[in-house]
Amino acid sequence: MINWFTWISLTIVFIFTGFIIYFYASKGTPMYVYVFVYLGYVLPFGLVALIPYDIYLAIAEKTPEIKGQQDILFIVWRVVYWTVFVLCWLILPVIQEYEMAGEFSFMPRLRTAIYRHFRSLFLEAIAGLICLIYLLVENELTIDSLPIFLIVLSNCWGLFLVIVLLGYGLVAIPKSFWYAGKSSDYLKYLYVKATILDEGIIEVKYKLDDIIRLVNTASYKIQENSTLQRPLDILLSICPLEMLEHHRTMQTHESRDSTEQLGTLNEKRLIELHKELKKTISEYKRSNCRWGQLVDETLLLEDIIASHNSQEKIIKSSVTSEKSGLFSIKREKSEWLWLTRVKPFLCRILGIFFTFMSILVILGETTLFLKYPIGLFPIMFEEDYGIIETQLLCLLPLLYILLCTKFGLFNLKLPGWYGLYPHNQTDSSSMAWSAFYLARLTAPLSYNFLLFLKIENTVFINFMKIIDIVPVVGKQFSTFFPLILIVFCAMNYFNIYGKFLNALGMNQLSFSGTYCEEKLKEGLQLMQRARSERERNMGIQSIKAREGILNYQMTKIESTRTDPRRPNLKNGYF
C-alpha cells in the first residue's frame, strides 16, 4: 500500500489545486472549464507527487511486499498517464479554442475549435509521420504499437519544451533573487519591464479601439428586424462601454474608412469580428492586470528605497493609506525591518543557493548519456535512507526543476499575455491554456528527472521503456538532447537568446524578462506618471471619505432636530 507520506502529498495536491482554481479563475468561468482545468492540474501534480515514492521503491531492498506495491503503481501510472494524455492533447486545447471561437451557437463553435486545434498540430504531425514510416519499415506497426507512437510524439515535444524552459529558468531564477537582494538594480529591471509592457498595452488598445469602431459601424448598418441583430447584440454586449460611447459620440460610423474596412455585412463577417473582439478584449484585460501588478511592485520598491535610512523606521508612501490600530506602529517597524534589511539579505542567500542548484542540474542533465553518475544528485540516490527520508530528499531537486520549468513557461512571449492572474482575473482561455501546458510537460519532465537521477528500475521508467523500439526519437533522444541545455543557458546568461530567436523568426519561444538599458529613462517617466495618478486617486478617495463623514454627521443632526423625543433647550440648558 502507498505510505502515509505519499497520501499526505496527494492530499496537499488536491487542496492546492482547488486553491489555484478558486484564487485565479474569473467569476464568469463556465462549470465545464472548472472541472476539466481542475483535472488538468490535479492529475499532473499527482503524477509528480508519486515520483518520490516510485524512487523509494526502486532503491529499497527488494521484497515481495515492495514488488506488489510496484505492480499496483504500474497500473496507477498507466491510468494517470493516459488520462492526462487525453486531457492535454484533446480536451483542454479544444476547450481553449472553443472559448475564443467567434461563432454564436454551440455546434459551429465546437467544429471550429476542433478544426483550429488539429490545424495547430501540424509540426507534431510531421514528427509523427517520421515515426510512423519507421514503424512501417521495421514491420512494427500494429494496433499494439499505437501507444508507442503516441508516447514517443508526446515525449519528444514535451522534452524539447522542457529543455528550452529549463535553459531560461536555471539562469533567470538565481538572477532574479540576486538582483532582488539589491533594490536599486531590481528597480532598474522593473523600469525596463514597464516600458516593454506599456508598448504592448498601447498596441493592443489601438487594436481593440479599431475593432470597436467596426462594431459601432455595423450597429448603424444592421436593421432592427434583421437576422443579424442577435449576433450584433452579443458583440455590443461585450464591448467596453466607454470605448463604444466614444465612437458613437465621434460618429466614426460615417467615415469612409470604417465602411470600407467593415466590408460586406453577413454572419461570417460578424463571426470574424466576434472572434477578434473576444481575443483582443482578453489581451487588453490581461495586459492591464499585468500593468497593475507591475505598478504596485515598482511603487512599493521606490518607497522602500526612499525609506531605507528612515529615522522613524517606517515605510513612507504617498500611494497607500496610513495604517491604524493598536499595533500599527509595531507592525510598520516590523515591515520596515523586513523589507529594508532581512528580505534583501535573504534574497542574496537564495540567489547563491539557486545558482548552486542550477549548476548541479546542468551538470546532471548534460551527462545523461553517461552510465556512471556525475554530480551530487545522482550520487545521493545510490542508497536507501528510509521511506520518508528518501522521498523528502527527492523533493529538493524535483521541485527546483519543476519551478524552473514553470517559471520559464509563464515568461514566454506568447501572443495574448497568457498566464495566471490573481484575485479571479484569469479568464477561461488562460485557465485552459495553463492546464494543458502543465499536463503536456509533466510526464516528459518526470521521465527526464528519473533519467537525471540514473535510477533505471522505477515503475515509470519501466512503463516508458516501450519507446525504445524507436531508436532515434526514443530513449536516445531523451538522453542526448538535454546536452543542448548548456547552449540555452549560455545564451540566456549573455542575453543573446532573444536576438537569436528573432533572427530565426521564432519570437514565440523567446522570453519577456530581457533587460535593455536604453528603455530605463522611459520606464522611470512611466512610473512617475503612474505615481501621480495614484496620488490623485488617493486624494479623490480622501475627499469622498471626508464628504461621506460630513454627510453622515449632518444627517444625524437633522434627524435629531426632528426627533420628537429630543429634549427642549432653554437658555442653553435642558
* DSSP-H helix ranges across 417-519: 428-453, 459-464, 475-480, 485-493, 497-504
DSSP 117-170: HHHHTHHHHHHHHHHHHHHHHTT--SSTTHHHHHHHHHHHHHHHHHHHHHHHHH
In a domain, 213, yes or no: no
In a domain, 220, yes or no: no
Number of domains making up the chain: 1
Distance from C-alpha of 233 to C-alpha of 214, rounded to nearest angstrom: 14
Q: How far is CA 56 from each of CA 63, 228, 549, rounded to the nearest angstrom?
A: 13, 64, 65
In a domain, 574, yes or no: no
In a domain, 317, yes or no: no
Residues 432, 29 contacting (CB under 8 angstroms): no
> For each of the chain's 574 residues, which pLDDT tens digit applies?
577 888 899 999 999 999 999 999 998 899 999 999 999 999 999 999 999 999 988 888 777 778 888 888 999 999 999 999 999 999 999 999 999 999 999 999 999 999 888 887 776 667 666 666 766 666 655 656 667 777 888 888 889 899 999 999 999 999 989 988 888 888 988 998 899 889 889 999 999 999 999 999 999 999 888 899 999 999 999 999 999 999 999 888 888 888 889 888 899 999 999 999 999 999 999 889 999 999 999 999 999 999 888 888 888 888 877 666 667 788 888 999 999 999 999 999 999 999 999 999 999 998 888 888 777 888 888 777 888 888 999 999 999 999 999 888 887 766 556 778 888 888 999 999 999 999 999 999 999 999 999 887 899 998 888 777 766 666 778 888 899 999 999 988 888 877 776 665 655 556 665 556 678 889 999 999 999 998 888 776 555 544 543 454 445 445 544 444 433 433 333 2
In a domain, 387, yes or no: yes
In a domain, 440, yes or no: yes
Residues 491, 500 contacting (CB under 8 angstroms): yes
Q: Look at the block and give the residue holding cell 496610513.
A: 322
Q: What is the pLDDT of residues 159-195, one digit of tens each?
A: 989 999 999 999 999 998 998 888 888 898 899 889 9
User: What amino acid is encoded at 299 in this protein?
Assistant: L
Which residues, 6 or more positions from 4, have their beta carbon under 8 angstroms from its beta carbon? none
In a domain, 448, yes or no: yes
Which residues, 6 or more positions from 238, have their beta carbon under 8 angstroms from its beta carbon? 277, 278, 281
Q: What is the pLDDT of residues 78-130, one digit of tens each?
A: 999 999 999 999 999 999 999 999 999 999 999 999 988 888 777 666 766 66
Grid cell at residue 124: 507534431
SS3 574: coil
Q: What is the pLDDT of residues 432-459, one digit of tens each?
A: 999 999 999 999 999 999 999 988 789 9
Full-prediction pTM beyond 0.75?
Answer: yes
Residue 382 lies in domain: 4-195+332-515
Q: What is the pLDDT of residues 363-388, one digit of tens each?
A: 999 888 888 877 788 888 877 788 88
Residue among 200, 112, 234 at smallest CA distance from 418: 200
In a domain, 501, yes or no: yes
Residues 152, 467 contacting (CB under 8 angstroms): yes
